[in-house]
Structure 1
């Protein structure tokens, strides 16, 4: 039993340990090229949450890792077989209910740990935060915590070198041979503002990628994945520890 993992804890341990901060991992279930499993985002975010939670606990932080939400926003992939979509409005309802539970039990800090590029929680947390003003809401995406260019050669954001390397480290048994992987080539928008990065439109997956990947995975290695995993976990553990220890009313500098 790991006392920082809610799913493994019993009521006696939960009452004794009295969590200061809850961490909610949120992944997705979607196609990841031809070589990675549909639950790639879930395996990754659960591993990061678990390792960072362990380090934070060892630092003295009373942290509790909630069970992962395995479905995310996949509105751009509704025509890809069995990509399971949750609408943002559904995510808002889930977040509201979880926040109500935490508020009722005196846990006034929630870190929303995102593992899927299609999830965007800022607007949702503004709304939930207005309903539960006692709670400090923090969100981060694991892929934004460190400079990925220090670890990987190829750019991309889906079933790419980064995700493939992570899965080679975390779940090599679920990675098909890289010879089966597509190239992850992305078709770029014809709209200038989108190409330059100052305008946005949701990508329609069947139009931008032939294999559902974005980024070439061919240079992925287990060693790269392990180094990246360790760096991100350490960074997240620092966040968990800091949020657990901070006085909510004194969280801004003078």
Structure 2
């Protein structure tokens, strides 16, 4: 089997590999993550887990890892500062244009690996557009959904225990001084997804207590995520 890193390969190498390969496209975000995590958290996590996962899967699949997109749909974080956001329409256009480029180069299978909750809707819309317009097989994976059980921790949350622990495992220099916190009571409606700008202000832009995060827990979640992602890449790459 083969593994290519798009930005490190020549046009000839890509032309030969793409028709039989699964292209892996990570997309993250650059946005505020509270007072204690770097703004590049989402991009760093998804970029790194994709690189580790394709290496793990390379013996059993033909894969091409595309450069990670570092920007996503983050308008809801703009009021806090530190955020670089794309509009939903622009994000869908970027994903569609990149997929069109991949198809022009000979690619026929694409998986978008998403590292930011705000990208969920645009990734699904873009995948549907790409499949129709480019005659490609397109899959979407939200990496945090590969974690079977958070043990009571909100996953992915936003700049809380989960993401802080993942950074301890991957990029500890991204973590600053953390402070314990008590969240206001929020009344959720079961089975309903509510979008409300005021809710983000009430929690100061991050969801749960980052002081609960540990390096050990981050390593456990990282290993689980890598194994599950590698398995899915192998399965997608070897579909008829």
TM-score over 0.5 (shorter chain): yes
CA deviations over 1:175-201 (Å, ceiling 9, x no partner)? 1133xx362735626xxxx53332532
Q: Does 1:93 align with 2:93?
A: yes
Q: Does 1:235 align with 2:236?
A: no
Q: In the alignment, what sits opposite 1:130?
A: 132
Q: In the alignment, what sits opposite 2:166?
A: 166
Q: Against the structure 1 CA distance between its residues 82 and 145, is the aligned structure 2 distance closer, same or farther, given a 3 Å change threshold?
A: same
Q: Does 1:155 align with 2:157?
A: no
Q: Is the 8 A contact 1:187 1:209 kept in 2?
A: no
Structure 1 residue runs without a partner (length 5+): 248-254
Structural mapping, 1:70-219, within 5 Å: 70-120=70-120, 121-132=123-134, 134-150=135-151, 153-155=152-154, 157-178=157-178, 181=179, 183=181, 185=183, 188=186, 195-204=189-198, 206-210=200-204, 212-219=205-212
Classify the secondary structure of the residue corresponding to 1:28: coil
Alignment size in residue pairs = 235
Q: Is the 8 A contact 2:3 2:55 kept in 1?
A: no
Q: Is the 8 A contact 2:15 2:105 kept in 1?
A: no
Classify the secondary structure of the residue corresponding to 1:213: coil
Q: Distance in 1 between matches of 2:5 and 2:225?
A: 19
Q: Which runs of 4+ in 1 moved over 6 A?
A: none
Classify the secondary structure of the residue corresponding to 2:23: strand
Q: Distance in 1 between matches of 2:3 and 2:239?
A: 21
Structure 2 residue runs without a partner (length 5+): none
